[in-house]
Structure 1
């Protein structure tokens, strides 16, 4: 028997079209999100970005109904996915590549702690 709730890794049904991106992009820390971005194939980043960016305002409106400290599991996963979408936006809108052209990360910079 699993210790994880049935809805672990799920997002609200109204965002079901974004569910395929959850496993990769909905991670809890900024360091993990950056690592996902710089390790991902650019075409996959664009696919996620294209699917999610038009829904970002809707996602934020949905999350606004909850206190940030008391998100239900599916809403928390959606929140983490939206933060992953921000990383995808950095790649698409700023760099047109997974990381910046002169960025040293992840080669010489390691985040030890910080805000998620």
Structure 2
């Protein structure tokens, strides 16, 4: 299982990569493995400000649908066009490469102190066993 050291993690299995006041968010390798083959990702919150722990979208796998939760609050500024059904329509890229090409959204961070509430790689390893 791949858990990069340079990311922050939520208990809901989202990861966060920070670059200035922009955060890139996706689901972890553990989460995509548990879900199985992803067939659809829905994000209809671009342009909206979403609070920490609120739902920003859903991922659909062959057997289940799961909500996506904001690990930190912010304004959704971009949805990865490669997984958007109206553009690239390739949600399986999350299964193949969850931390690079399989990112889901980018946000403008509302409150950087919320990053302190997320786990580091070691904490996330302990969560998933």
Q: Same fold (TM over 0.5)?
A: no
Report the TM-score when normalising by structure 1. Answer: 0.30
- Greater per-residue strand proportion: 2
Which of structures 1 and 2 has the larger relative contact order (alpha carbons within 8 angstroms, sep 6+)? 1
